[in-house]
Amino acid sequence: MKAKNCLIFGGSGQIGSFLIRKLTKNNLRVTVVTRNIHQKGLKIKTQANAGYIDIVEANIFDEKKIEKLFAEADYCINLVGILYEKKRGNTFKNIHTIFPTLIAKLCRKFDLEHFVHVSALGINEAIDSKYAVSKLEGEKNILGNFPKSTILRPSVVFSNSDNFTTQFMTLLNRLPIFPLYYSGKTKFMPIHCSDLTNIIYNIISKGSDTQIIECVGPEILTFKEILQILLNLINKKRLLLPFPLVVARLSAKFFQLLPKPLLTEDQLRLLKYHNIPSGNYKTNLDIGLPSKLYFKDEVKKYSYMWRDGGEFSTEKYNFENIKKKN
């Protein structure tokens, strides 16, 4: 029996790496589209079971080229997203609205079995955010063009290859004072990347009639609690200082000028809103796919690299333990 084929956009990132392993391990073929096969091809290829992956170099807006890929696909998964805008077309509207709309139309044209689109949690309330508005417009267009779609809205996604825990541990390692925006009271339900990819796999393999699913981890943590957990894991003490909104806005204006912004004005607006289920849609728990991995337990597995001594700071290499064994 011929293996079903999943067409994946955004497969070189954190979620893509986990997802490629999950799908190919379960005998699904994947076709991964990347903008730079020479830069990202090897990384993508090594995530898959041999013989179950094809990598295609294409600009995501090259409609003629990507249209050909849909003719061979059974499913489509879109993981493409940006946290801040850049020049040369990398705008929220292009990436979060126009591109997903194009995919949905091609899914309809070639009558694919299912389309899974990864969006973001908490966007309904954040109408003052360009990021959130672009996500909502994209979702609306997807469901309008291809009803056999499932939109996943995850809370913050974490793993050892994320840009969330790893970046914060780097900053906490270096800065004596760390700012708390909105007093650090914003609530999150961090979901581990393997839990999220398990949800995607189940939707692809078993189907789903639910069009929007809010995907969350097993616990609610405030932003301040997340920082405190990270500090404890890397054995550091830092002053977590609430920033007045005026100062926060000024810092965002400065940070967004960096090549890779630490914070933008749009992200600051997003931080006003809790990143937890709205109560208006089903969650992964409601569909029988609860998250199993807890934030502290999972981050502990790779946080040693941010402690003094790096890998040799773990209990395994603790000098006192070695002396006792000898």
Burial label for 193, CB within 10 Å (0-12, 13-18, 19+), is buried
Residue 64's domain is classified under what CATH number? 3.40.50.720
- Does residue 258 lie within any of the structural domains? no
Q: How many domains does the chain have?
A: 1
Domain that holds residue 34: 5-162+190-218+277-294
- Does residue 320 lie within any of the structural domains? no
* Residue owning tokens 């096969």: 37
User: What value does the mean pLDDT take over residues 296-318?
Assistant: 82
Position 322 scores a pLDDT of 46
How many CA atoms lie within 13 Å of 141's alpha carbon, on the beta-carbon side? Answer: 19
- Does residue 127 lie within any of the structural domains? yes
- Does residue 225 lie within any of the structural domains? no
- Does residue 201 lie within any of the structural domains? yes
- Does residue 235 lie within any of the structural domains? no
Tens digits of per-residue pLDDT, 190-208? 999 999 999 999 999 999 9
Position 320 scores a pLDDT of 52
Is the pLDDT assigned to residue 321 strictly greater than 60? no
Tens digits of per-residue pLDDT, 56-94? 999 888 999 999 999 999 999 999 999 999 877 789 999
User: What value does the mean pLDDT take over residues 133-140?
Assistant: 98
Tens digits of per-residue pLDDT, 147-164? 999 999 999 999 999 999
- Does residue 86 lie within any of the structural domains? yes
Position 46 scores a pLDDT of 75
Tens digits of per-residue pLDDT, 210-262? 999 999 999 999 999 999 999 999 999 999 999 999 999 998 999 898 888 88
